[in-house]
Amino acid sequence: MSHFDQEIQVLKDRLLSMASRAESSVRNAIRALVERDDELARGVKGNDDQIDQLEKEIDEQAILLLAKAPLATQLRLIVSATKIARDLERVGDEATTISRRAIELGREPQLKPYVDIPRMAEMALAMLRDALDAFVGRDSAKARGVIPRDKEVDALNRQLYRELASFMIESPATTTRCLHLMTISKALERIADHAKNIAEDVVYLYEARDIRHGGLESDPR
């Protein structure tokens, strides 16, 4: 392995460490909501600071690697790494948002059993994991498979919105709790968006093909 390849490996390792932290942040934030565990919710913020730090380190390393004039796959990998890092940083932010709302919700009686939110979280996290597995396994087909799943999460988010809206109409006293849950639902929907972005970056990385905004029309060569 050349010295440059070793540096690229360090960049990848940092990215994967960031991904694993982002994933556990989301998982803990949802658990804190369901189990009404404030301490767990507060831990999410601490984890987010480390995610932010990793994003800065990745960007700094990427700048130095770009200065070495890499080409082709290595060039795409470095650019993709910075974009993936930004998406992961935002996943961490969304987890923090969820944990804050979980703390607020913990102060009031539970509105209803949480079914759809944990399901959305699982779907979004599975997308995130598959996008990152595709990154590690150089598997652009797997990355492409992640992209349509975003629509399922969107549909669940809309369904939850409708349900919460009817709650608020029927019982205005639930409005604050419903708004917290809507924010959490939106945060999960955004996490799925970030997973989709990462999947698109992985397709670009391994196929040198930009499929953003155009859906999957641009099929593999």
Partner 1 sequence: MDAPPARPLPTAGVEETEASPSLVTPAIQTEDLCLFYGETPALRNVSLSIPERQVTALIGPSGCGKSTLLRCFNRMNDLIPAVRVTGRCRIGGQDILDDGVDVIELRKRVGMVFQRSNPFPMSIRANMVYGLRLQGIRNRSEQDQIVEESLRAAALWDEVKDRLERNALELSGGQQQRLCIARAIAIRPRILLMDEPASALDPIATMRIEELILDLRRDYTIVIVTHNMQQATRISDQTAFLYLGEVVEFDRTARIFTHPREQRTEDYVTGRFG
Q: Which residues bind partner 1 (CB under 8 A)?
A: 2-4, 63-64, 67-69
How many angstroms separate the CA atoms of 86 and 11, rounded? 14
- Closest to partner 1 by CB, 69 or 115: 69
How many angstroms separate the CA atoms of 195 and 181, rounded? 21
Report the Cα–Cα distance between both ends of the chain, in Å, rounded: 30
- Name which of 96, 123, 124, 127 is nearest 33 in CA terms: 96
- Closest to partner 1 by CB, 55 or 201: 55
Q: CB 7 → partner 1: shortest distance, Å?
A: 10
Q: Are 80 and 201 in contact (CB under 8 A)?
A: yes
Which amino acid appears at position 67 of this protein?
A
CA distances from 63 to 58, 59, 82, 84 (A): 9, 6, 9, 15
- Closest to partner 1 by CB, 56 or 68: 68
Q: CB 81 → partner 1: shortest distance, Å?
A: 17
Q: CB 3 → partner 1: shortest distance, Å?
A: 5
Q: CB 55 → partner 1: shortest distance, Å?
A: 17
Instruction: For the chain, state the CA radius of gyration.
Output: 19
- Closest to partner 1 by CB, 3 or 221: 3
Q: CB 60 → partner 1: shortest distance, Å?
A: 9
Which amino acid appears at position 105 of this protein?
L
Tokens 């996490």 label which residue? 191
- Closest to partner 1 by CB, 61 or 97: 61
- Closest to partner 1 by CB, 67 or 115: 67
Q: List, in order, residues 6 or more apart from 204 with CB less than 8 Å away.
A: 76, 80, 210, 211, 212
65: tokens are 């690697």
How many angstroms separate the CA atoms of 26 and 44, rounded? 8
Q: CB 168 → partner 1: shortest distance, Å?
A: 52
